[in-house]
Amino acid sequence: MTNKLQKILLGSCLALGLAAAAPAGAEELRIGYIASSTGIYAQVGKDMVDGFQMYLDEHGGKLGGADVKFIVEDDQGKPDTSVTKAKKLILQDKVHMIIGGFLAPTGYALAPVSTAEKTLYISSVSSADDLTQRQLVKYPYFMRTSYTSSLPTHPLGQWACEQGYKKIVTIGADYAFGYESVGGFQKAFEDCGGKVIQKIWPPLGTKDFGPYIPTIKGDIDAVFSLMVGPMSLQFPKQLRASGYKKPIIGGGTSYDEFALPFMGDEVIGDVSALHYSAAIDTPANQTFVKAYRAKYGKVPSYYSENNYTTAMWLDAAIKKAGGKYPGPEAFIKIMQSIKLDAPRGPVELDDMRNPIENVYIKKVEKKKMFGYDKDELWNTVIKTYPKVSQFWTYGKEKFLAQPVYDRDFPPCKFCE
């Protein structure tokens, strides 16, 4: 024990002393990664790091020929701490770029750091809409490899309308990600002729939907849910138990692979939309899913896929840059020039540095997949909307002219 303590003390003294003077070798790519390894989002954080690490391991710890120094810092699930840790990575470890960040607020907190420190920040999960929309001008060193919250729910709104649903009630977690996802769905659904007749906002982390379910209006065609984390497990269970028989559709996080293995058979038939499903039936995805499952013992969620793809993207970009990091502006240009074939399908960046990617409408089914011998729940793809942009079909100018989706935007015109 004393020995260990001595080591720690010695270590901290050394680190304190050497903090200032530790720039590393020239041909090394230093990547700082922000994820939670403690706090309530620790599991998501692990999925994120695992995805990135798996690509590194598959490629001998190199990206585009450069040796990678991959430094993970724990943001403890707090946006404020993520800023401290990002600064540590930039100031002390002299990283070339920061990647990661889970929550939308984390993305909002880290983007200004990238501007202030002139260091690239790649948001590989955080999906806050406005960062690649109205606020992008403020963040010249920011780009995204994941999605905007409303990117998958726009097509879902269209799809729901095409199913002949006329009246829908939305129930979504009461924070920015919820507003943006629900907003995108409502906009597309109503533009196609549907009506959202009620919007319910339970707080993030709600464990009992008892008070909300009875308020859901009776005369409707479907419920749209936007749940996050443990909420995803609870809501469909309670809604079905209350005797509700009509369809439930949802944003991606309501049924993603992070929650799906813990769900019961009552969710079979529920439909959701996201830019990734572990059940995409392509050879590229099958290889990815099998390798990931063999390594980490679980089916990859989009958190893992997004980060695996980010690493793949970096690999291609560094290679194109000649095995060296060329500085943030040049690097972003290279990233924009790459068309990638990822497990999720083809991806490329638009001119606002957000991916253009397929959106998958997925139905939960119980089946065998990829040669696994047990019946499991999978998000079977029932329709693919190819090459969806964050502006959907509205066009960039028209879309950016409207405010960012919020609790009260789009207004609930048909609410009774």
Smaller CB distance to other proteins: residue 171 or 377? 171
Peptide bond into 410 cis (omega under 30): yes
Stretch that binds other proteins, among 107-115, 275-283, 327-335, 361-369 (CB under 8 A): 107-115
Q: Any idea which residue has 């998501």 for tokens?
A: 44
Q: Nearest to residue 171, comparing CAs of 108, 106, 238?
A: 238
Pick from 33, 108, 209, 255 the residue near other proteins by CB under 8 A.
108
- Nearest approach in angstroms of CB 24 to other proteins is 15
Residue 322 amino acid letter: G
Determine, following the binding rule CB under 8 A, whether residue 104 of this chain makes contact with other proteins: yes
Query: Of the two residues 74 and 348, which places its CB atom closer to other proteins in the complex?
Result: 74
Q: Which two three-digit tokens encode residue 109?
A: 């907190």
Q: Considering beta carbons, is residue 104 or 248 the nearer one to other proteins?
A: 104
CB burial readout 142-164, b (16+ within 10 A) else e:
bbbbbbbbbbbbbbbbbbbbeee
> Which of 175, 244, 370, 372 is in the footprint of other proteins by CB under 8 A?
175
Is residue 128 involved in binding other proteins (CB under 8 A)? yes
105 scored as a contact of other proteins (CB under 8 A): yes
Q: Answer yes or no whether residue 384 interacts with other proteins by CB under 8 A.
A: no
Tokens of 360: 């998958």
Is 134 a binder of other proteins (CB under 8 A)?
no
CA–CA dist 324, 390 (Å, integer): 31
The number of residues that bind other proteins (CB under 8 A) is 40
Which of 99, 176, 248, 259 lies at the binding interface for other proteins (CB under 8 A)?
176
Q: Which of 19, 24, 382, 415 binds other proteins (CB under 8 A)?
A: 19
- In the complex, the smallest distance separating the C-beta of residue 194 from other proteins, rounded to whole angstroms, is 26
**From 34, 49, 54, 109, residue interacting with other proteins (rule: CB under 8 A):** 109
Among 58, 69, 92, 334, binds other proteins (CB under 8 A): 92
Within residues 47-86, the interface with other proteins by CB under 8 A covers 73-74, 76, 78-81, 83-85
| Alpha helix positions (H), 217-362 | 230-241, 283-296, 302-320, 328-337
What is the sign of the dihedral through the CA atoms of 144, 147, 149 and 155? positive
Give the containing element (helix H, strand E) for 185: helix 176-191
* CB-nearer residue toward other proteins: 81 or 124: 81
Residue keyed to tokens 């009992």:
208
- By DSSP bridging, strand 355-367 and strand 271-274 are antiparallel
Q: Which residues are paired to 226 by β-bridges? A: 172
Beta carbon nearer to other proteins, 88 or 387:
88
Q: Residues near 195 by Cβ (< 8 Å), separated by ≥ 6?
A: 166, 167, 168, 414
First to last CA, the chain: 67
Name which of 20 and 294 has its Cβ closer to other proteins: 20
Nearer to other proteins, 113 or 222 (CB): 113
Q: Which is nearer to other proteins, 115 or 286 (CB)?
A: 115
Note whether 42 binds other proteins by CB under 8 A. Answer: no
How crowded is the C-beta side of 110, counted as CA atoms within 13 Å?
A: 39
| Binding segment (CB under 8 A) for other proteins, from list 106-114, 148-156, 229-237, 251-259 | 106-114
What dihedral do alpha carbons 383, 388, 393, 395 form, nearest 10°? 180
> Which CB atom, from 204 or from 316, has the smaller least distance to other proteins?
204
User: What tokens does 364 get?
Assistant: 């939960």
User: Could you tell me if 71 and 31 are in contact, meaning their C-beta atoms sit under 8 angstroms apart?
Assistant: yes
Positions touching other proteins (CB under 8 A) are 8, 11-12, 15-17, 19-20, 37-38, 73-74, 76, 78-81, 83-85, 87-88, 91-92, 104-105, 108-109, 111-113, 115-116, 128, 138, 175-176, 204, 406-407
